């Protein structure tokens, strides 16, 4: 039975759910989920959780992300990227100083109005379904955080700039590109997007779907799966001293932990089997989420 995390370098043209469906078939496992949706035009890091590991998706989805985005100035579209219908084209000429000054205004906590072409639901309807019918509804701005926003060089094709963006969950990079264009007075949209980091994993950790298929065909597919505790590698390790303590954790009971500093831990049995994400507080160790095989 397949259990673990696999980092896919998502190809262009696939939805994140397409990738999950493909892996579901490859590993013959119904429980497959991803951490952080990528639009079909986007490529890059898509952490996918398989089997019992899907219990960690809720933690991974909240993580910061990093992208390399293409910014096309002078063009406004209905989707805020180059896959959409062009609404406006304007002459635009900015200096590097002007562009970098505009970028600096978007670093930190900002408000974003979600685009109509998004999967957010309002009154039970996904926004993109309404947008395809030509309808537009009021959307409330959302608070997001842009930790870093950097211009990567100065392109030969003047209007296509490369930006490195490190941001919080829920950030729409195409909306960021649109808003930067508005701030410059010439309009803008996103021309490309590649995610370079998500849930602590990078492109160096990723594999292509073709590579996964080849491994599965050789009977070695599960060798590509990272253990679920790899996601929590930044937390300290706590090994239980005896089977009685392990039995309590498996039953969801709290343990006395007066000598354990407060905080979150990767909790293991005496045989080093990963059991749970635990939290020590007030002299007790409680389970935040269990991960052992039932």
C-alpha–C-alpha distance, residues 170 and 112, integer Å: 10
Query: In whole angstroms, how far apart are CA 160 and each of 68, 74, 184, 289?
Result: 12, 10, 15, 45
Phi, psi of 245 (to 5 degrees): -65, -40
Residues in Cβ contact with 134 at an 8 Å cutoff, skipping those fewer than 6 apart: none
Residues in the chain: 294
39 is annotated as an active-site residue: yes
Sign of CA dihedral 194, 200, 205, 209: negative
Query: Which of 91, 43, 51 lies closest to 70 in space, CA to CA?
Result: 43
Q: Which of 9, 18, 39, 81 is catalytic?
A: 39
Query: In whole angstroms, how far apart are CA 277 and each of 163, 268, 290?
Result: 36, 9, 6
Strand pairing category for 274-281 and 263-268: antiparallel
Q: Which residues form the catalytic set?
A: 39
């Amino acid at each position: 039975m397949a259990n673990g995390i696999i980092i896919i370098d998502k190809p262009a043209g696939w939805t994140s759910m397409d990738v999950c469906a493909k892996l579901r078939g490859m590993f013959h496992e119904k429980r497959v989920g991803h951490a952080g949706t990528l639009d079909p035009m986007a490529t890059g890091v898509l952490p996918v959780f398989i089997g019992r590991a899907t219990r960690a998706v809720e933690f991974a989805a909240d993580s910061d992300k990093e992208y390399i985005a293409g910014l096309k100035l002078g063009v406004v579209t209905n989707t805020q990227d180059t896959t959409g219908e062009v609404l406006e084209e304007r002459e635009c000429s900015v200096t590097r100083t002007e562009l970098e000054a505009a970028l600096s205004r978007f670093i930190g906590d900002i408000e974003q109005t979600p685009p109509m072409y998004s999967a957010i639901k309002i009154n039970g309807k996904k926004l993109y379904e309404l947008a395809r019918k030509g309808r537009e509804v009021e959307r409330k701005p959302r608070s997001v955080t842009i930790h870093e926003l950097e211009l990567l060089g100065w392109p030969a094709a003047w209007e296509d700039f490369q930006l490195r963006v490190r941001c919080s969950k829920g950030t729409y990079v195409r909306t960021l590109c649109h808003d930067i264009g508005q701030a410059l007075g010439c309009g803008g949209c996103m021309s490309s997007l590649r995610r370079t980091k998500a849930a602590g994993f990078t492109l160096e950790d990723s594999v292509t779907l073709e590579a996964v298929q080849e491994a599965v065909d050789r009977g070695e597919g599960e060798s590509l799966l990272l253990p679920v505790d790899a996601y929590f590698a930044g937390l300290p390790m706590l090994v239980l001293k005896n089977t009685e303590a392990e039995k309590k954790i498996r039953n969801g009971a709290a343990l006395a932990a007066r000598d354990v500093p407060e905080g979150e831990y990767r909790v293991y049995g005496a045989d080093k089997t990963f059991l749970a994400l635990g939290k020590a507080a007030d002299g007790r160790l409680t389970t935040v989420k269990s991960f052992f095989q039932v």
